[in-house]
Amino acid sequence: MRFPKAQLVFVVGVLLATWAHAGLFEDDEARKAILDLRQRVEKLRADTDQIQTSSKDENAGLGRGLLELQRQMELLRADLASLRGVNEKVAKDVADLQQHNKDEAQSLSERLSKLEPAKVSVDGVEFVVTPAEKRDYEAALAVFRKGDFVNAQSQFSGFLSRYPGSGYALTALFWLGNAQYATRDYKEAIVNFRSLIAKNPEHLRAPEAVLSVANCQLELKDSKGARTTLTNLIKAYPQSEAAVAAKERLASLK
């Protein structure tokens, strides 16, 4: 229990005034009463001081407790912020890894697709070729179309050596013969045109190949052979454009 100092002084003052006013005490009794009263006052003062000291200690303890609580709360906030940052980094790493895996899968699929055989259609014939086979044939044909007939011969000869069973083979023979004709290698051109015809007389390029044989024979001054070839062309492929040209050539040979 706490007694404010002002209240304590007031109580003591009232008691002294009461005793003085009464004038009933003897000197010894008065001194004894004063000593007793002084002791009681001192005790009250000591109790009051102790209570105040305890109160100060309690307040100081509470203050320290509040400070410690605030410190712990700050530490928790810092830990929470750190965990949030770690979570965000983990989430970003996971997203990056998923995108990386997706890109790798797409790249692998694209690379595999370049190695897979593909279906093509050339001169009315549909067949399957490897990517390398298609690339080499198209490269040789591109050289021919540029008018580089010497290199075209090399390209098509190489192609036929590498891919003898290719679906491009008969068409490659046709272009090889034309490249040889362009460089005046008529005998070799005849060999390749006839090879095409022998392997597949129904091939789309067969009538043109027969006409080309006749043209080579004419260049070699073999008019008799050319006449026979043109006559056979008209009989074998009467509805072809080559047959129309053959008739014109035969008329010019008469």
Q: What is the pTM of this model?
A: 0.61
Residue 192 has what pLDDT?
98
Number of alpha carbons in the 13 Å side-chain half-sphere of residue 158 = 14
Residue 111 has what pLDDT?
81
Number of alpha carbons in the 13 Å side-chain half-sphere of residue 140 = 25
Q: Are 179 and 152 in contact (CB under 8 A)?
A: yes
Alpha-carbon dihedral of residues 170, 175, 177, 178, nearest 10 degrees? 150
Phi and psi, residue 208, nearest 5°: -65, -35
Of the candidate ranges 12-16, 53-57, 168-172, the one whose mean pLDDT is the lowest = 12-16
Say yes or no to pLDDT of 1 above 50.
no
Structural fold of domain 118-253: 1.25.40
User: What is the rounded average pLDDT of the residues 119-124?
Assistant: 94
Q: Which residues pair with 122 in a beta bridge?
A: 125
| pLDDT 10s digits, 213-231 | 999 999 999 999 999 999 9
Phi and psi, residue 180, nearest 5°: -70, -40
Domain extents in the chain: 26-114, 118-253
Largest Cα separation within the chain, whole Å, is: 183
What number of other Cβ atoms are within 10 A of residue 3's Cβ?
13
Query: d(Cα 194, Cα 171) in Å, to the nearest integer?
Result: 13
The pLDDT confidence band at residue 54, using thresholds 50, 70 and 90, is confident
